[in-house]
Structure formats: C-alpha cells, structure tokens
Amino acid sequence: MKSVKYLTAYIIPVLCIFGLLQGGIAAYATVVFSFGLIPLLEQFLPQDTSNLPEEERNDRLARKVFDWLLYLNVPLVFGIICLFIYQLNTQDYTTSELTGHVLSVGIVLGVCGINVAHELGHRSNKVEQTLAKILLLPTLYQHFFIEHNRGHHKHVATPLDPATARKGEIVYTFWFRSLWGSYRSAWRLERDRLQRSKLPFWSFQNEMVRFSIQQLIYVALVFALTPSWQMALAVLTAGLIGVLLLESINYVEHYGLQRRLLDNGRYERVQPRHSWNANYHLGRIMLYELTRHSDHHYLANKKYQILDHHEQAPVLPLGYPASILMALVPPLWLVVMDRRLEEVGVA
C-alpha cells in the first residue's frame, strides 16, 4: 500500500521528541535532518513523477489510511508543545540547546501543523476543517484558514495576492508583505462575508474575532504554564519559526510566476504553469505532496495522495528544503531563479 511511505513523514516529529528528551547536540536533530540530510539525499536520489495507482485512488480503506495519517498530527503537535513546556519547567537549557529546541519545535509546527492544516482546511468536512483550525493555533496563524482558501487560491500569481512573490523580490521583504497582507486580507474577507449575510461585524459570527480570542487564550496559557516570560517567548518563537517556514514555502512556490490579465478585466484561470513543482521523493513525502503544488492550485479539492504530476508545470532546480536555503541567500536565489523564469517563458 502506497500510504505506508507517508509514515516516514513522522521522522520529523519523532526527532523533535528525541531532541527534547536527550538535549545537548540532539536538540538540533530535526534541523539537521530537515535542512541538511534531506537536501543532501535529494541530490542523489532519483526524482519521482509517478502518480497514485487508480486502484488505490478508489480504495475506501486506503483513503481512510491516508486521512488518518493527517489526523495523527494533531496529538503529535500538541504533545510536542506540552513536552517542550514540561522540559522548560524541569531542565536548565544552555542558550545553544534552547535555540535548537525552538528551531526544531518550529519546524514541527510548520510541517506537521500549518502544512497539515493546509491540507485539512481544503476539505468540505466540518470536523476536518476544525482540526485544521486547531493545528493553526500554536502558530497564532488561524487567519490562514480564511485567507488561503478564499484569498490566495483566487488571486494566486497576480499582484492581488500577498502570498505570491514577485520577480526580483527577496524572501526577507516578502515575509513582511505576506504576513501583513494576508492578515489584512482575512479580516477583509470576513467583513465581506458578513455583509453579504447581513450579520454584524463585531460579533462571534466573525471568525476572525473568534480566532483572536482563541489565540489570546493560547498565549495566556503559555505564559501561565512556563516558568518565566523568557521561556514563554521561546514557545511563541517556535510558532513564529513555523510561520516563517510556511511563508518561505509560499515564496518558492510561486516566485515570479504570473497569470495573464484578460481583456474582460479578469485574470486567466489558474493553470499548472502558475506554481513551481519539485518531484524529489523525500520532500514530497515529508510535506504530504505539497511540492506538487501545480495540481493543488489547478484542482484545489484534490486530496494530497492523488495530486498528479503535470509536464507543463515549471520545476524548481532543487527540492523545497534546499530551495528555502537558497532563498535565504538572495543574490544566489535571484541569479538562479531569474534564469529559470526565462527558461519557462516568464520575462
């Protein structure tokens, strides 16, 4: 069964737990695996353009297994946060150890939290949508549920989308533009929804109001459960790391790609050519096929395991983890990716 391979996605949270319990150099195990070992292995392993066999697409049991592989991330994410807080109360970490733990927990919150929430947030099932919102709570990024589904997917690869990086834009300025723009967009989208339904803006019917209250309660709990305000900030900083990981992925996913503005004033329909793909097998598994982003935007309701490879989709020169590292060195990123944009026909 193809679903078994996604069990390896749990290596990231397992390494994080190991690091929290072991301490010392093990605090960096998740970081080294995610941004050291995976990029290295992807340079030697073959790329995989295969799609899920038809029999498994229609296999009810297999579909359930694929779903449960996502659901199990909820107890994992919150279990790791609880373990982190417990360790902060019982261990004296050096600055180096604490830095490693914050980065490692942050990677888990980005990969197993926001990334899995992204997949579940596209589902029509209310329970799965609720799980998505719960997974976004530790990063204080619940507005992503609104803006991504109703904003980003509508405006992707246009100047209207704050989460689409423009040609020549560096990742550090993109972070600020996307963070602020996405937050504002979520409030605006909720305002428009409430106006259409003739509902009051300042009420619990406004999901952004509910998200704000839930996130304030989470922050208060973190401060109440940690031994000092510095340790509370360590937990919250891990959430920020998860957010910056997401935004870095946003950056590489759509960098420089544009949809044409039609004569009727609307943009052309989103096509596979409007997202960067990476067919490296390890990255695909660890991110639950997020790297097949072209098909996801082309048909947003498709579950992760049946996302298909498209020949016309532009391909990154490296996998997602290595691309993020390259983006953190803007001169290198701009030289490589602006040339790649020319190769795929973007001026």
pLDDT tens digits for range 184-231: 999 999 999 999 999 999 999 999 999 999 999 999 999 999 999 999
Rg value, the chain, Cα = 20
In a domain, residue 64? The reply is yes
The reported pLDDT for the residue numbered 57 is 78
Going by C-alpha positions, the residue among 117, 118, 99, 120 that lies closest to residue 30 is: 99
C-alpha of 189 from chain center: 21
> What does the pLDDT look like over 160-192, one tens digit per residue?
999 999 999 999 999 999 999 999 999 999 999
Q: Are 288 and 115 spatial neighbours (Cβ–Cβ below 8 Å)?
A: yes
The count of structural domains within the chain is: 1
The reported pLDDT for the residue numbered 344 is 86
Two tokens, residue 238:
């891990």
Q: At 267, is the secondary structure helix, strand, or coil?
A: strand
Q: Which domain holds residue 89?
A: 2-250
Neighbours of 176 (CB within 10 A): 11
In angstroms, rounded to a whole number, what is the distance separating the alpha carbons of residues 21 and 96? 15
In a domain, residue 301? The reply is no
In a domain, residue 302? The reply is no
In a domain, residue 346? The reply is no
The reported pLDDT for the residue numbered 60 is 83
- The answer to whether residue 266 scores a pLDDT higher than 90 is yes
**67-80 as b/e, with b when 16 or more CB fall inside 10 Å?**
bebbebbbebbeeb
The reported pLDDT for the residue numbered 161 is 97
In a domain, residue 160? The reply is yes
In a domain, residue 327? The reply is no
Residue 94 CA neighbour count, 13 Å, CB half: 8
The reported pLDDT for the residue numbered 251 is 98
Q: What is the mean pLDDT of residues 269-285?
A: 90
| Residue that is written with structure tokens 């960098």 in the block | 255
Main-chain phi, psi angles of 253, to 5 degrees = -70, -30
Q: What is the mean pLDDT of residues 276-298?
A: 90
pTM: 0.96
Cα torsion angle, 239, 240, 245, 251, sign: positive
In a domain, residue 273? The reply is no
Q: Are 278 and 315 spatial neighbours (Cβ–Cβ below 8 Å)?
A: yes
Mean of all residue pLDDT scores within the chain: 94
Q: At 69, is the secondary structure helix, strand, or coil?
A: helix
The reported pLDDT for the residue numbered 2 is 59
Q: Are 283 and 2 spatial neighbours (Cβ–Cβ below 8 Å)?
A: no
C-alpha of 321 from chain center: 12
In angstroms, rounded to a whole number, what is the distance separating the alpha carbons of residues 293 and 278? 9
β-strand partners of 261: 267
In a domain, residue 317? The reply is no
In angstroms, rounded to a whole number, what is the distance separating the alpha carbons of residues 232 and 269? 45
In angstroms, rounded to a whole number, what is the distance separating the alpha carbons of residues 214 and 84? 21
Percentage with pLDDT > 90 across the chain: 84
